[in-house]
Amino acid sequence: MLCRVTITERQRSCFAAHPDRSPLLVVDLDVVRQRYEDLVAALPGVTVFYAVKANPLPELVSMLVELGSSFDVASIGEIEQCLAVGAPPERLSFGNTVKKADAVRRAAELGVTRYAFDSECELEKLVAHAPGSLAFCRILCDGFGAAWPLSRKFGCAPDVARELLLEAARHGLRPGVSFHVGSQQFDPAAWDRALATVADLRAELLAEDVELELVNLGGGLPGTYLEAIRPVDEYGSDIVAALRRRLGPDLPPEMLVEPGRYLVADAGALRCEVVTVARKSTTDEHRWVYLDVGMFSGLAEVMDEAIRYRVLTDGADRPTGPVVLAGPTCDSADILYETVDYQLPLDLRAGERLYLQSVGAYSTTYSTIGFNGFPPLDVEVLG
Ligand SMILES: Cc1ncc(COP(=O)(O)O)c(C=O)c1O
């Protein structure tokens, strides 16, 4: 079975109630609630830490606090946002491997007890400022099978992780391991490959009498874009089987997952407007369709055409032809899709409204504060 998303009735009513606002992103929290409940059911025994960076809207974070979610945070700013809407500090995990010493000190003062690290330099900050905390070392992942790989910048090789974790334990920190299989990961087997590495590392640490207290399965669960994806319960059963195979029967005391995209992407529908339709040559059948939304107004993940939003028009059965989609700024980087095959109606005109689906993740905070004089992305939240 493959997944489909639609613009919800509530989102349609919201667009109708605000005819003059464009571009407008409408985030339906009912969709987030459903995704959260589906994930909790799919991953028994694994605690969900929502990756706040995917969409930090206060109403959304507050709803997840009420549902019982925990939170992966990337900065003191995100910690304060979570605390402000009632998340207790023991439900936060400081998952950024790049932190100023001051940020660690402040997080510890605020009561945060879980920290990611992947280098000696970061470990020293944890030893100095977050004594006794759960320190989990992020290991490198190749990111194969993911649309947005997150490889290279974060994590270290397992032999480095081994030395760092032994050092962490010697300093009284509680050792854990994390990985991220790459965002928008199409292949559930990616977790099995990473867990095989974790299992080897766990055995090496055990040989030195050091027990892993936490395994963090990271993010990577997909949203519903142009490509077909498998439903979350299939990811769940594959991941649970991999956990048992690699780390069973005595699983580490704490296991967590940090979904961002999966929880919020499909909750966002974006309505935008066609500003210009242009033909560049008599021989190229592609039309250039310029929208009032683009790379700098929230859709940064179109970079390298990695994340491919579904685009809808009103009215069925209109003959279509190929298009290049671009944003409204005077910057030549502001192109959404030039190589991926997008087709739009041949009678498309300036002023027509289009809808982009699954824009709820990595959009609201990615918009610039005023590049070319365009305002940040306009957002409505349906609670
Ligand atoms: C540490 C960490 N955890 C979780 C996530 C969420 O990843 P995803 O949106 O693919 O679920 C990210 C995303 O960058 C991350 O950096």
Reported as a single tens digit per residue, the pLDDT across 77-124 is: 999 999 999 999 999 999 999 999 999 999 999 999 999 999 999 999
Q: Quote the ligand 1 centre to 93 CA distance (angstroms).
A: 12
> Ligand 1 test: best mutation among 180, 225, 307, most atoms within 8 Å of CB?
180
Reported as a single tens digit per residue, the pLDDT across 240-264 is: 999 999 999 999 999 999 999 999 9
Q: Quote the ligand 1 centre to 107 CA distance (angstroms).
A: 20
The whole-number pLDDT of residue 320 equals: 95
Contact 79, 99 (CB under 8 A): no
> Ligand 1 test: best mutation among 96, 138, 150, most atoms within 8 Å of CB?
150
Question: What token pair was written down for 217?
Answer: 């399965």
Residue showing tokens 């994340």: 307
Find how far residue 370's CA is from the centre of its chain. Answer: 24
Contact 197, 217 (CB under 8 A): no
- Which protein residue's CA is at the shortest distance from atom 12 of ligand 1? 219
Contact 205, 212 (CB under 8 A): yes
**Residue 3 binned pLDDT confidence (cut-offs 50, 70, 90):** low
Mean pLDDT of the 125-152 span = 93
- Which protein residue's CA is at the shortest distance from atom 7 of ligand 1? 219
The whole-number pLDDT of residue 6 equals: 83
Q: What percent of the chain has pLDDT over 70?
A: 99
Cα gap 176→256, rounded to integer Å: 11
Q: What is the mean pLDDT of the chain?
A: 96
Domain boundaries, given as residue ranges, for the chain: 29-264, 266-382
Is the pLDDT confidence value at 1 over 60? no
Pocket of ligand 1 (CB under 6 A): 51, 54, 72, 95, 150, 180, 183, 218-221, 258-262
Contact 371, 296 (CB under 8 A): yes
Q: Quote the ligand 1 centre to 307 CA distance (angstroms).
A: 15
Is the pLDDT confidence value at 4 over 70? no
Cα gap 110→330, rounded to integer Å: 44
Reported as a single tens digit per residue, the pLDDT across 155-194 is: 999 999 999 999 999 999 999 999 999 999 999 999 999 9
DSSP bridge partners of 279: 287
Its CATH architecture, for the domain 266-382, is: Beta Barrel (2.40)
Residues 303, 342, 346, CA angle at the centre, nearest 5°?
Answer: 135
Cα gap 141→113, rounded to integer Å: 25
13 CB contacts (<8 Å, ≥6 apart)?
A: none
Question: What token pair was written down for 283?
Answer: 């021989």
Reported as a single tens digit per residue, the pLDDT across 186-230 is: 999 999 999 999 999 999 999 999 999 999 999 999 999 999 899
Ligand 1 atom with minimal separation from the 146 CA = 10
Question: What token pair was written down for 225?
Answer: 């874009």
Cα gap 246→236, rounded to integer Å: 15
Task: Give how far Cα 60 sits from Cα of 57, 78, 84, 214, Å.
Answer: 5, 13, 13, 27
Label each residue of the chain as H, E or C. CCCCCCCCHHHHHHHHHCCCCCCEEEEEHHHHHHHHHHHHHHCCCCEEEEEHHHCCCHHHHHHHHHHCCEEEECCHHHHHHHHHCCCCHHHEEECCCCCCHHHHHHHHHCCCCEEEECCHHHHHHHHHHCCCCEEEEEECCCCCCEEECCCCCCCECHHHHHHHHHHHHHCCCEEEEECCCCEEECCCHHHHHHHHHHHHHHHHHHCCCCCCCEEECCCCCCCCCCCCCCCHHHHHHHHHHHHHHHHCCCCCCEEEECCCHHHHHHHEEEEEEEEEEEECCCCCCCEEEEECCCCCCCCHHHHHHCCCCCEEECCCCCCEEEEEEECCCCCCCCEEEEEEEEEEECCCCCCCEEEECCCCCCCCCCCCCCHHHCCCCEEEEEC
Mean pLDDT of the 15-35 span = 98
Supply the residues annotated as catalytic: 330
Ligand 1 atom with minimal separation from the 95 CA = 1
The whole-number pLDDT of residue 150 equals: 78
Ligand 1 atom with minimal separation from the 263 CA = 11
- Which protein residue's CA is at the shortest distance from atom 4 of ligand 1? 219
> Ligand 1 test: best mutation among 148, 258, 261, 359, most atoms within 8 Å of CB?
258
Q: Quote the ligand 1 centre to 311 CA distance (angstroms).
A: 25
The whole-number pLDDT of residue 223 equals: 97
Mean pLDDT of the 22-39 span = 98
**Residue 47 binned pLDDT confidence (cut-offs 50, 70, 90):** very high
List phi, psi (to 5°) of 235.
Answer: -60, -45
Ligand 1 atom with minimal separation from the 220 CA = 10
Q: Quote the ligand 1 centre to 135 CA distance (angstroms).
A: 18
Question: What token pair was written down for 38?
Answer: 């589906």
Residue 272 CB neighbours (<10 A)? 24
Q: Quote the ligand 1 centre to 352 CA distance (angstroms).
A: 35
- Which protein residue's CA is at the shortest distance from atom 1 of ligand 1? 95
Ligand 1 atom with minimal separation from the 221 CA = 11
Q: Quote the ligand 1 centre to 182 CA distance (angstroms).
A: 8
**What homologous superfamily is domain 29-264 in, according to CATH?**
Alanine racemase (3.20.20.10)
